[in-house]
Chain A
Amino acid sequence: MTDLAYLPGLGAARKARALPPSVIGWILPLVLVGAWEAAARAGLVRSNHLPAPSVVALTILHLAQSGDLTDHLTATLGRLGLGFLAGAAAGTVAGSLTGASRTLRLLVDPLIQGLRSVPSIAWVPLFILWLGIFEASKVALIAVGVFFPVYLNLMSGIAGVDRKLIEVGRAHRLGHVELIRRVLLPAALPAYIVGLRGGLGLGWMFVAAAELMGASEGLGFLLVDGQQTGRPAIVIAAILLFAVLGKLSDIVLARAGQALTAWQDTEGAR
């Protein structure tokens, strides 16, 4: 075989391929942070608009040392966890039923699709009227955001299950509930996990929205607080924490999903 490594492009590409995928993903953010730090130190950006990454890191450190960070994280993660559980549970039940029953799908799905078109923020006044301005309305808003992707993916996943597998279940005389539990849900699991990941992503978006509208603690509160007190480092710290936590939670869900669907005969499952 001819060694083509002396070609500049090919040599670099081979080195990049030799790096683990998780490392490759860090290259661009680290380069950007480095450039940002250099630009800030050289005075190319105004520190009251875009403080240096080192300043942001110190801000996070101070928040952590004072214990405030733990309080804000606990508040945000608590709301997100409750909202995610409620929305995912409702989406799972509704998606299972409408996916398994054509009659229910015809009856219920158009209504749910109509509600899906309502901008999420439009629910806020109603939830505040119904549930007050405290935790319940925030959790409800997050649950609404989580519900739709879970519902949609599970319903279409179940409705798309191979008819031949369903027939095996029927040949073994499985009842409706058993058929859903032993054939439809496992077969729809890959689509369901996609729905859960989508729901969690929207959950993060909605928890920020809910906390922006009125909270005394949480990462969303830090955003508002930083803006009102003229401390951009706090705002950027909160944004970075949202990004890191959102990514970490997605990685956890994706890894769990990969382990649960390793039976798939697909390129992604290898």
Chain B
Amino acid sequence: MSNLLEIRGLAKRYDDRLVLGPLHLAFETGETVAVIGRSGCGKSTLLRLVAGLDRPDAGTVSLAGRPIRPDDVAIVFQEPRLMPWLNVAGNVGFGLKHLPKLERADAVAEALDVVGLSEAATKLPKQLSGGMAQRTALARALAVRPKLLLLDEPFSALDPLTRAGLQNHLGEVRDHYGPTILLITHDMDEALALADRIIVLDGPPGRIVAEFAPRLPRDIKRTAPAFQRWKDRLIDVLGPAQAPAGTLTKLEDHRHAV
């Protein structure tokens, strides 16, 4: 596979304090890369720089050997951030105004179908549950058919059941659209279940301290020994403080069971 996204010497300062980098990273086309690390280590800063929402103080981000163009990237934030005056279909089509009407309607319908919201197209954001709103945000990002999909802890504000459902949806999205995905997350389970590669950041200033390529089967159960072994390795790198509540106990239980 060829490199789609290349990050070279990327660095960011806030008030003369280096918060990220210099960072070097390369993503293969169609790869899902999870960036995991403690709060404040620079994960979201990395995503904002790649998205073009902030300007780097040094370094470059290139896509297929050229600067990133506006229509290359789409982003899903931690909160849905839907325009409250637009219905679901209007929100999903928010980034498609440049398309002819019919083409736009097709792209919206397809994205809604992928996230399972075709029936909710005419609903207003105030009528949606948290999970539906975040699925709408995901559909909005997918509808522009980005080469690079940036996910900034997109499921962290949801209850565990909804989160698991959306993680499955993301798997379907990857199969359907095949974008390269940069996933920022706190959740080790999420990173292991979804990512081809996991990058552990530490900081500030944010720097890569470990890199794993678990490439676990898509349908692997989270209680499977292979899944838990990778989780152990992540905990070793991140430190117990980063393990979500209950994780260590579950691991101990698992070890006893084995």
Contact = CB atoms under 8 A, between A and B. Distances in A.
13 contacts: A165-B83, A168-B77, A168-B83, A170-B53, A171-B75, A172-B94, A172-B95, A172-B144, A187-B84, A187-B85, A261-B85, A263-B85, A263-B125
A1 B51 CA distance: 60
Nearest to A265: B126
B124 interface: yes
Nearest to A162: B81
A264 B124 CA distance: 9
Nearest to A172: B95
Nearest to B71: A173
Contact of A167 (B53, B85, B125): B53
A187 B83 CA distance: 8
Interface string B79-99: 101011110000000110100
Chief secondary structure at chain B's binding surface: loop
B70 interface: yes
Given A172-B95, A263-B124, A165 B81 contact: yes
A164 B81 contact: yes
A183 interface: yes
A189 interface: yes
Interface in A241-266: 261, 263-265
A186 interface: yes
A187 B124 CA distance: 14
Interface of A: 164-165, 167-168, 170-173, 182-183, 186-187, 189, 261, 263-265
A263 to B, nearest CB: 4
A263 B86 CA distance: 8
Contacts of B74: 171
Contact of A168 (B81, B85, B124, B125): B81
Nearest to B95: A172
Contact of A164 (B52, B79, B97): B79
Contact of A171 (B53, B83, B84, B85): B53
A168 B94 contact: yes
A167 B81 contact: yes
Contacts of B84: 187, 263-265
Contact of B51 (A171, A183, A187): A171
Ranked nearest first, the 8 interchain pairs of A and B with the lowest CB-CB distance are A173-B70, A265-B126, A172-B95, A263-B85, A186-B85, A168-B81, A171-B75, A164-B81
Interface string B95-137: 1010000000000000000000000000011100000000000
